[in-house]
């Protein structure tokens, strides 16, 4: 018998144990002072709780009733499985209820009820679809935030500071990435506000005139001065040698066309 076994048996009344369990428990307690002390403490608390609860002896007729019920050994037959005809469910049942001859309703009232049921069903389907779409969006946002947190907290990531120019000269930007993957996090603080028809665009250069788009983003309309973007690049980050951010028309451009806002080189 192990110490864990003793801890489990400490909560069981001694008279409820078998002879073999009591013998093994006694042998272990005699040889293990820590278990003996803990066992005695648990038993003392248990005895105190039992002493605090008054005992009640059931009346004779209660014992007789229980004994009679046990003696009967009543066997309850399992319920028969309910056979559901899929053709008679849902709208088929509603249709049957509305148009069966036992329903004394004017035809106009029947049609009105049918139209109401149809409207409620369509509304329910629409609401359910909206909830499902919201659940998908929330899950995607949660997965993205978890991915960002994992990247930010990884001490093995490489970090590059992007230097702001022009109106972004007082802004701070850092790109954290794992060179062996295509995932990165772009953190920017005090991002200057742009007109509605303009966006920032992150460029990932891997040659003299070859570059990929990393992200197209705008300012946070809620006024948050710190922006965090999850970047999924077309290739691993060890292929890139320069990074830059330019101001482009809303939606982004195939190539840089606007003024530079941030730049950095490896």
Tens of pLDDT, residues 182-241? 999 898 888 888 888 999 999 999 987 899 999 998 876 665 677 888 899 999 999 999
DSSP 117-161: HHHHHHHHHHHHHHHHHHHHHHHHHHHHHHHHHHHHH-TT-EEEE
Q: Hey, where are the domains in the chain?
A: 3-52, 106-153, 158-265
Asked which of 89-103, 171-185, 208-222, 246-260 is least confident by mean pLDDT, the reply is: 89-103
Reported confidence tier of residue 259, pLDDT bands at 50, 70, 90 = very high
Tens of pLDDT, residues 39-66? 787 777 666 665 555 556 666 666 677 6
Q: Which helix (H) or strand (E) holds 40?
A: helix 33-52
pLDDT for position 253: 94
pLDDT for position 28: 85
pLDDT above 80: residue 244? yes
- CATH class as words, domain 158-265: mainly beta
């Amino acid at each position: 018998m192990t110490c864990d076994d003793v801890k489990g048996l400490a909560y069981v009344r001694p008279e409820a144990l078998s002879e073999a369990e009591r013998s093994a428990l006694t042998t272990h307690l005699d040889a293990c002072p820590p278990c003996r002390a803990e066992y005695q403490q648990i038993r003392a608390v248990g005895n105190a709780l039992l002493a605090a609860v008054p005992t009640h002896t059931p009346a004779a007729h209660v014992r007789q009733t229980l004994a009679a019920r046990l003696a009967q050994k009543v066997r309850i037959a399992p319920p028969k499985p309910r056979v559901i005809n899929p053709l008679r469910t849902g709208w088929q049942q509603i249709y049957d209820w509305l148009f069966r001859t036992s329903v004394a309703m004017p035809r106009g009232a029947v049609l009105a009820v049918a139209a109401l049921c149809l409207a409620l069903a369509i509304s329910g389907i629409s609401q359910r679809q909206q909830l499902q779409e919201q659940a998908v969006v929330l899950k995607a946002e949660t997965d993205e935030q978890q991915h960002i947190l994992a990247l930010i907290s990884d001490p093995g990531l490489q970090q590059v500071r992007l230097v702001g120019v022009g109106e972004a000269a007082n802004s701070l930007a850092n790109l954290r990435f794992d060179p062996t993957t295509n995932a990165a996090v772009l953190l920017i603080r005090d991002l200057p506000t742009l007109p509605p028809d303009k966006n920032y665009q992150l460029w990932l250069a891997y040659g003299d005139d070859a570059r990929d788009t990393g992200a197209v983003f705008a300012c946070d309309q809620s006024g948050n001065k710190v922006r965090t973007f999850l970047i999924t690049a077309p290739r691993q980050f060890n292929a890139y040698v320069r990074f830059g951010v330019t101001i482009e028309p809303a939606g982004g451009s195939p190539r840089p066309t606007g003024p530079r806002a941030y730049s950095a080189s490896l």
